Amino acid sequence: MAGQISVRDVGDANPEAAVGIDFSMFIQRAVVVVLSVVAVSSGACAQASLSGQSAFEDALQQKPGNKIHLTTADLPAPAPEQSVDNGPHVVRRPAGAMPIAPAGYTVQLYAEGDFKEPRLIRTAPNGDLFLADSHGDKIWVLRGVGPDGKALQKEVYADITSFASENGKALPFGIAFYPAVNPKWVYVANTVNVIRYPYVAGDLKARGPAEVVVKELPGFAQLRGGGHWTRDVVFSKDGTRLFVSVGSRSNVDDTDNNPTEFHRADVLEYTPEGKFVKVYASGIRNCVGEAINPVTGQLWCSTNERDQLGNHLVPDYITHVQEDGFYGWPWWYMGGPDGGKQDPRHEGKHPELQSKVITPDVLMQPHMASLEMVFYPMKQTGASAFPAGVNGDVFAAEHGSWNRKNRAGYEVVHAFLKDGKATGEYEDFLTGFVTPAGEVWGRPVGVTVAKDGALIVVEDGAKTVWRVTYTGGQQTAKR
Q: Check residue 333 and give left, alpha or beta (phi > 0: left; psi -120 to 50: alpha).
A: beta
Same domain, 275 and 421: yes
Same domain, 251 and 374: yes
Range of the domain at 254: 55-470
Compute the Cα dihedral for 245, 247, 249, 255 and give only its sign.
positive
Same domain, 8 and 123: no
Same domain, 41 and 75: no
- Distance, in Å, from the CA atom of 172 to the CA atom of 138, rounded to the nearest integer, reads 7
- Distance, in Å, from the CA atom of 448 to the CA atom of 376, rounded to the nearest integer, reads 8
Same domain, 32 and 147: no
pLDDT of residue 269: 98
Residue 479 belongs to a domain: no
Strand-pairing partners, residue 440, are 434
With beta carbons less than 8 A apart as the criterion, state whether 139 and 158 touch.
yes
User: CA angle, corner 300, sides to 297 and 303, nearest 5?
Assistant: 180
With beta carbons less than 8 A apart as the criterion, state whether 250 and 332 touch.
no
Same domain, 28 and 109: no
Closest CA relative to residue 121, chosen from 463, 470, 479: 463
Domain CATH number, residue 140: 2.120.10.30
Residue 477 belongs to a domain: no
Residue 421 belongs to a domain: yes
Same domain, 20 and 135: no
Residue 400 belongs to a domain: yes
Q: How many distinct structural domains can be found in the chain?
A: 2
**3-class DSSP state for residue 81?**
helix
Same domain, 10 and 75: no
Same domain, 11 and 143: no
Residue 420 belongs to a domain: yes
- Distance, in Å, from the CA atom of 5 to the CA atom of 74, rounded to the nearest integer, reads 15
- Distance, in Å, from the CA atom of 286 to the CA atom of 316, rounded to the nearest integer, reads 10
Same domain, 5 and 125: no
pLDDT tens string for the chain (479 positions)?
Answer: 333 323 223 233 333 333 333 333 333 333 332 222 222 222 334 578 999 999 999 999 999 999 999 999 999 999 999 999 999 999 999 999 999 999 999 999 999 999 999 999 999 999 999 999 999 999 999 999 999 999 999 999 999 999 987 767 899 999 999 999 999 999 999 999 999 999 999 999 999 999 999 999 987 665 554 579 999 999 999 999 999 999 999 999 999 989 999 999 999 999 999 999 999 999 999 999 999 999 999 999 999 999 999 999 999 999 999 999 999 999 999 987 889 999 999 999 999 999 999 999 999 999 999 999 999 999 998 999 999 999 999 999 999 999 999 999 999 999 999 999 999 999 999 999 999 999 999 999 999 999 999 999 999 999 999 999 999 864 433 33
pLDDT of residue 218: 87
Tell me the pTM: 0.89
Residue 25 belongs to a domain: yes
Residue 475 belongs to a domain: no
Same domain, 24 and 166: no
Residue 465 belongs to a domain: yes
Domain boundary pick from 10, 29, 48? 48
Instruction: Give whole-number Cα distances, 144 to 22, 90, 124, in Å.
Output: 49, 30, 13
- Distance, in Å, from the CA atom of 99 to the CA atom of 93, rounded to the nearest integer, reads 11
Per-residue HEC secondary structure of 340-386 comes to EEECHHHCCCCHHHHHHECCCCEEEEECCCEEEEEECCCCCCCCCCC
Same domain, 14 and 119: no
